Chain A
Amino acid sequence: MTPLFDFWAAHAAELWRLIGQHVTLVIVSTAAAVVVGVPVGIMGARRPRIGGPLSVAASIIQTIPSLALFGFLLPLPLVGGIGARTALAALILYALLPIIRTTSAGLRSIDPAILEAADAMGMTSRQRLVQVELPLALPSIIAGIRVAAVIGVGTVTIAAAIGAGGLGEYIYRGLSMVDATVILAGAVPVAVLALLVDAVLLVLERAWSWRSRGQKASRVAVVVLLLAVATGVALTAYPQDERIIVGSKNFTEQVILGELTAQAIERYAGLAVDRRLNLGGTFICDRAIQTGDIDLYVEYSGTALTAVFKRPVVRDPKAVLDEIRTLYANTGRSMLAPLGFNNTFAILVRGEDARARGLARLSQLSAHTPGWRAAFGYEFLERPDGYKGLAATYGLRFSEPPRVMDLTLIYRALADHQVDVVAGDATAGLIEALELSALEDDQHYFPPYDAVPIVHSATLLRHPEIGAALGRLAGRVTAAEMRRMNYAVDGQRRDATIVVREFLDSLN
């Protein structure tokens, strides 16, 4: 338990901000769902022909997995994009069903004699609704709101994938770092929040039920108190001043690079920065930077060429950079100077072998491979820029066909002498830790994956100091430095914020 409390203590300010965002998202989405859902529920009870299909539609929405729903919403105008807006749209859609259902059910379960009496008293349809039906259905409606809000607390967690903030950020960060402490740092408060929301709404349900015979004043007091708390939370969670928003994809190196660019802007440009780290992949990051939902993230040149712009593979690093610089510049995004390292495939051997045989370049490898065993990831064996071309380019032949092995195990297998050559990730922290050696791709077989900061052009025009601040990083992040930082976070379980701060200190 101690590491968990240590983590919370070290991130207290951030923790409160994330809790604030989480609660705000739940409150705003539930409130909006009430505004939409209760009238639909009323219609469902009165005119089943209109309300029925709406209720079915809400049921269908409920069955869409939340990550998929975010995916559907992302490209839409108005509700789409990354950040709280899309998350709210999805959360509202999810909250609708329980509210519509319980509103309809609450209204339909009213004793017909009571409704007949109301009609016979000469109540108009509106008077009957307001004075009789809604008060009697209220406990049922609030029960639905309670269900919606508790579901919402869980669903908001997933919203961190599209940069909406909230406690999901810790869960995603923990997942990408394979660090149970960080996952728990988010998951535990989520569970506590769910219980708390349930309890608070139960109190509300009791206070507002006609069965409780509560006094009007105390009922109103409960609601006013809740609204005040909600407003306070929202104001602290979403500061209003302009801030630069830095995004990142959802794996360790990207989180470190996000933190690195964010700290560089804070340090050298003196601007306030919000972090939207752990966004769910290249597509989401790219969309976000086009819409300006984020101002900056770090992309890899080869990924930009093939995945973002769908161009064929080019192997010359400079040609790739030139091509994507133009492509980005023409579409409202600006590419800054490369950070220095190339996150490409790396062909690895044990450091001792490299030293003993003077191995440094791939073109030297074919002399040794006939007696060696190799292991590659499944993807590397299959993809066009993978094993086949590599073997052809460098004339490699092995004593037995290469083994297929999971990427997370491959470094350890090499260090343990199970195999002699593997293909890994050039910036994997374990290369340093296990004393492995990467051979230089001297024929330029692998396409380049140079890390380059991509900035929303309008932001760069408003704040040219961002360009200057990130320019100070240009060429300074070598593959060795990146491996060291990856290992510090992944292998030594150190906090990315601190690792990055130390790195920046060392640059001066």
Chain B
Amino acid sequence: MNAACYTVAPVIEFDRVHASRGDREVLRCVSSHVEAGETLALVGRSGAGKSTVLKLINRMLEPSDGSVRVEGRDTRAWDSTTLRRRTGYVLQEVGLFPHMSVGRNVGVVPTLAAWAPERIAARTHELLELVGLPPAEFELRWPDQLSGGQRQRVGVARALAADPPIVLMDEPFGSLDAVTRAELHVEFRRIQERLRKTVVLVTHDMREAFALADRIGVLDEGRLVACDARAGLQASSEPAVRLLLEASA
């Protein structure tokens, strides 16, 4: 038997990645990887470079130095459209298309991928069920008729629609009230239990990271200063990590 069969190749790899936004270097020499089915949370203060990491993964940005590999291939070698359709994306502001019904919003990526209409309809129903929005009630509603929590559920359903192996989430629950957020945390764990996607989630809240992620990466001024499971992180002496832990204690 081939030795490779025993090693699970990482789905996402960062190899000494530098990245800039304008003249400002926002990531400095970040190296890390995410395994298949793993949920990695990126934590850090505002401007630490968390969102930049997500945008590097689906090639909305390219590294200024080093390389980002997805499924073993450099993002610059990927066709960016193909790559993005394999990568679900959930934003804090959700970004639902206001001129499309909830159902059509969920079906956007399958439609772009030219699925058959019946298959899109079936998939849309399945996903609305999955995120706890009964299709009979919600499919024909419009984004502005939904609460913040409902909108974010639609955002998650939309990200999962074409069954992408990778899901990127940029502070997905950041703008929700505490009760709704707790509710969605439960939903997230339930869904992730079933689907086992490779998830990279950005948050500024260490408690949210502990609640949702297998491992947590801490970014501080563009550097990845720690990347470990909960127990390891709590034992860390890194000042930036201590600061975040104390803030969420």
Contacts and interface: CB of A to CB of B under 8 A. Distances in A.
B115 to A, nearest CB: 14
A118 B91 CA distance: 11
A121 B81 CA distance: 8
21 contacts: A111-B93, A113-B93, A113-B95, A114-B95, A114-B98, A116-B91, A117-B96, A119-B60, A120-B58, A120-B60, A120-B84, A120-B168, A121-B85, A121-B158, A122-B80, A122-B83, A122-B112, A123-B112, A124-B81, A135-B99, A136-B98
Given A114-B98, A210-B98, A213-B142, A121 B84 contact: yes
Nearest to B58: A120
Given A114-B96, A120-B58, 16 more contacts: A113-B94, A114-B95, A117-B89, A118-B95, A119-B60, A119-B84, A120-B84, A120-B89, A121-B112, A122-B82, A122-B109, A123-B81, A127-B112, A135-B99, A136-B98, A210-B98
Contacts of A210: 98-99
A121 B97 CA distance: 12
Interface of A: 111, 113-124, 127, 132, 135-136, 210, 213
Contacts of B133: none
Contacts of B34: none
B96 A136 contact: no
A136 B80 CA distance: 25
B112 A117 contact: no
Contact-residue bracket for chain B: 20 to 34
A121 B85 CA distance: 6
| Chain A CB within 10 Å, residue with most, of B82, B83, B91, B95 | B95
Given A111-B95, A113-B94, A121 B108 contact: yes
Contacts of A116: 60, 91, 95
Contacts of A136: 97-99
A124 B80 CA distance: 9
Contacts of A124: 81
Nearest to A213: B142
Nearest to B108: A121
A121 B168 CA distance: 11
Nearest to A209: B99
A219 B81 CA distance: 32
B98 A121 contact: no
Contacts, number: 59
A123 B93 CA distance: 18
- Shortest beta-carbon contacts, A-B, top 8: A117-B95, A210-B99, A122-B84, A120-B89, A113-B93, A113-B95, A122-B85, A122-B81
A121 B82 CA distance: 10
Contacts of A122: 80-85, 109, 112
Max chain B C-beta neighbours (<10 A), residue from A115, A117, A135, A210: A117
A120 B82 CA distance: 11
A213 B144 CA distance: 12
Contact of B97 (A114, A120, A127, A213): A114
Interface string B146-166: 000000000000100000000
Contacts of B93: 111, 113
Contact of B91 (A113, A127, A132, A135): A113
Nearest to A120: B89
Interface string B66-103: 00000000000000111111010101011111110000
B148 to A, nearest CB: 14
Nearest to A135: B99
A123 B95 CA distance: 14
Nearest to A117: B95
A202 B131 CA distance: 39
B91 A121 contact: no
Contacts of B87: 120
A118 to B, nearest CB: 8
Given A113-B94, A136-B99, A121 B89 contact: yes
Contacts of B94: 113, 117
B209 to A, nearest CB: 22
B97 A117 contact: yes
Contacts of B112: 121-123, 127
A360 to B, nearest CB: 85
Chain A CB within 10 A, most for which of B60, B80, B85, B99: B99
A135 B101 CA distance: 13
A210 B144 CA distance: 12
A243 to B, nearest CB: 49
B23 to A, nearest CB: 21
Interface string B87-131: 101010111111100000000110010000000000000000000
A203 to B, nearest CB: 19
Contacts of A119: 60, 84
B120 to A, nearest CB: 14
A379 B12 CA distance: 90
- In this complex, the member of A120, A132, A136 whose beta carbon has the largest number of chain B beta carbons within 10 angstroms is A120
A98 to B, nearest CB: 23
Contacts of A115: 95
Contacts of B95: 111, 113-118
Indicate the member of A117, A122, A132, A135 with the most B CB atoms within 10 Å. A122
Nearest to A119: B60
A207 to B, nearest CB: 14
A120 B91 contact: yes
A124 B99 CA distance: 19
A123 B112 CA distance: 7
A111 B168 CA distance: 20
A116 B97 CA distance: 11
Nearest to A210: B99
B60 to A, nearest CB: 6
